[in-house]
Structure 1
């Protein structure tokens, strides 16, 4: 995919960091599901007992997909949609004040730049990735 071995290794590093952290976040969502459900209820999310495990699963699936290069278009696309939706529905900094607003702004921005990273992986999903399984269909 790239013209130098260093670029291949850097791309692998980017996949490991990006996908690994998101998969880890998904595991944490599932391990701490009850508090995540409580937070989702507090935010007024519909069906939090369904959506919290679904969000954790999406983070795990998308993260592992990017790390391994298995259906990366599906994984990266799912991550981009989830992260943007989560930013807008869960991190409403514009309706808060003070420290709470700053905390939600930080989470909002984290999700938005994560979505940007997911879109970058989506843009190259059809290329052959170095050090990847390169499975594009199940």
Structure 2
């Protein structure tokens, strides 16, 4: 099961590492979009989000305080879902549907991150193939 947990961590982390890369390479475009959604200090928020995604993704990937990494990702995803994907504000049916899908994706990923947090905080080294044990627990 250790190898399965490692593969799951790798697959999960790759999504966030790719997103972090986008935050750093497409900062201006992402800041413009975030600004259009009412995010204050949009460029700073995009860069800070990229840092959180990078740290959380690397922590989970490498198994270095994976519980903290998962918590960071959940704390990024939940506000992002609300601030960036407010489907309830949309009047166009297609835009509403797209935002709802993105909102649900972020909430679902936050749920998975919270589950990882609980598993690593609760079982830590028992999940195997990590560099460090949990920070919490």
TM-score, reference length from structure 2: 0.90
Of the three residues 113, 132, 135, the one matched with 1:134 is 132
Partner deviation per Cα, 1:67-125 (whole Å, 9 max, x = no partner): 11112222111111110010011100111121111111111111011101110110022
Cross-structure match for 2:41: 47
Q: Structure 2 residue aligned with 1:67, among 39, 61, 65?
A: 61
1:112 aligns with 2:107: yes
Q: Distance in 2 between matches of 1:135 and 1:65?
A: 11
Residue from 9, 32, 35 that aligns with 1:15: 9
Equivalent position to 1:123, from 94, 99, 118: 118
1:86 aligns with 2:80: yes
5+ residue gaps, structure 1, are 1-6
Q: Name the Cα RMSD after superposition.
A: 1.3
Query: How big is each residue's C-alpha offset from its partner over 1:1-41, in whole Å with a ceiling of 9 and x where there is no partner?
Result: xxxxxx22211111001111111111112111111000011
Give the Cα separation in 2 of the matches to 1:16 and 1:56. 18
Deviation at 1:65, TM superposition (A): 0.6
Structure 2 CA distance, aligned partners of 1:114 and 1:32? 22
Equivalent residue pairs, number: 131
Partner Cα distance (1:54, 1:14) in 2:
26
Equivalent residue for 1:58, pick from 30, 52, 59: 52
